[in-house]
Amino acid sequence: ARKKLSKLKKTPAITKDGVEIMLMANIELPDDCVSAMEAGANGVGLFRSEFLFMGRNSRIPSEDEQFEQYKRAVVAMKGRPVTIRTLDIGADKPLDQTEHTALNPALGLRAIRYCLAEPQIFLTQLRAILRASAFGKVRILIPMLAHAFEIDQSLAMIAQAKAELREQNIKFDDAVHVGAMIEIPAAALALPMFVKRMDFLSIGTNDLIQYTLAIDRVDYEVAHLYNPLHPAVLQLISMTIAAGHKAGIDVAVCGEMAGDIKLTRLLLGMGLREFSMHPAQLLSVKQEILNSDLARLMPQTRKIMRSMEPNVIADAVEQLQLL
Ligand code: PEP
Ligand code: MG
C-alpha cells in the first residue's frame, strides 16, 4: 500500500465530483519542509514556531535568528503558502522545564496571552515573520484567541511591526494574511467577532476538544474521555466551517482530526476544503479524498449533525466509509 500511496504525490486532491481540497503540512522546524514537499503538500498549514524557542534555557532567539528560520521554511516550500503560527508557549509546551508552573497551565498565561503580556518578544517575532514574507507567501496565524481585544491588539502589533520595517526600508509583504486559531469553545461560539477581523480561520481540534470536554490533553487518566466525535465538538467544528465560508474566508483544520482518515469524509461533508496534518498522514488522506463523492457525503453528514446520540453518530460516521 505504501508504494501505491507514493504514486499519489503529484496527484491533486480532487473529489470524485471534482472539488479540489488543499492538503497542507504541520511542521515544527524548517527541516520538516523536506517531508512536507516529499508528501506533495500544497503548503504549510501550521508552523509551530514555539519549537524554535524551546530547549534553549529560556534564551529567546533573536529577530535575525528567527528570520533565517522562517525564511528557510518559506524558500523550501517554493512559493507555496507557509502559515506561521506565532508563539504558542505555555501549558504542554513550556519555554523552560524549570519555570514555575501554574496550577492550571492550560487555562493560564499561554500562547497569545503570553505574547500580549510580553510585547517585546511578540514584536520581535512579528518583525521576523514579516521579513520572511518578502521571500514567498506567508500567512500569520494567532493561537488561543478568545476575546475581541486580543484580536485587535494582535492586529495593532502587526501594524506596528510593519510600520517599523517600513521606516527602516526593510521589505515585507504588506498583504500578508492574518488568521485566528479557533481552539477555544468561546471563539467557535462568537464567530462573527472573528470573521470580520481575520483573513482566515484554522480550527485547532486538539485544544478545542480539550477545552470543550474539560479533558487535559496530556493527562492519560482521562484520555479515554477525549472524544473527537462528541456531538458538542462536532457542532463547534461544523459551525466554524459554515461561518467562515459564509463570510467568504478560508477555514482549515490543523488539529490531529485533519490527519485521521476515519474522519476525512466527515470533515469533507461538513464543508472543509483545507486540511493540515503531519506530513506522514498526507497521502493516506489524499487517497481518501480521491475516493470521496461530496454529493453523497453531504446529506449523510447533515444527518450526523442533527444527532446528539453518540452511538448513532459513531455508526453514521462508519457508514460514511461505505459511500
Ligand atoms: C490544536 O490545538 O489542535 C493545534 C493544532 O495546536 P497545538 O496542538 O500545537 O496546540
Ligand atoms: Mg492548540
pLDDT greater at residue 52 or residue 91: 52
- Cα 297 to ligand 2 centre (Å): 28
Is pLDDT at 3 greater than 70 in this prediction? Answer: no
What sign for the dihedral angle of Cα 140, 287, 262, 314?
A: positive
Ligand 1 atom nearest to CA at 203: 3
Q: Are 207 and 217 spatial neighbours (Cβ–Cβ below 8 Å)? A: yes
Ligand 2 center–CA 316 separation, angstroms:
28
pLDDT in tens, 115-157: 999 999 999 999 999 999 999 999 999 999 999 999 999 999 9
Rounded Cα distance between 90 and 81, Å, is 27
Which ligand approaches the C-alpha of residue 144 most closely? 2
pLDDT tens digit string along 169-220? 999 999 999 999 999 999 999 999 999 999 999 999 999 999 999 999 999 9
**Mean pLDDT, rounded, of the chain:** 96
pLDDT digits (tens, 9 = 90+) for 86-112: 999 987 777 776 666 788 889 999 999
Instruction: Give residue 209 CA to ligand 2 midpoint distance, Å.
Output: 10
Supply 260's cell numbers. 485521521
Whether the predicted model's global pTM rises above the 0.90 cut: yes
**Predicted pLDDT of residue 111:** 96
Mean pLDDT of 263-280: 98
Q: Residue 49's pLDDT is what? A: 98
Instruction: Choose among 223, 188, 27, 206: nearest CA to 106.
Output: 206
Report the pLDDT value the prediction gives residue 97, as an integer from 0 to 100.
66
Mean pLDDT, range 63-88, rounded to an integer: 98
d(CA 253, CA 267): 9
Helices (H), 190-291: 191-195, 205-213, 231-246, 264-269, 282-290
Calculate the alpha carbon distances from 193 to 73, 130, 151, 182, 187 in Å.
Answer: 31, 25, 9, 12, 8
How high is the pLDDT of residue 100? 63
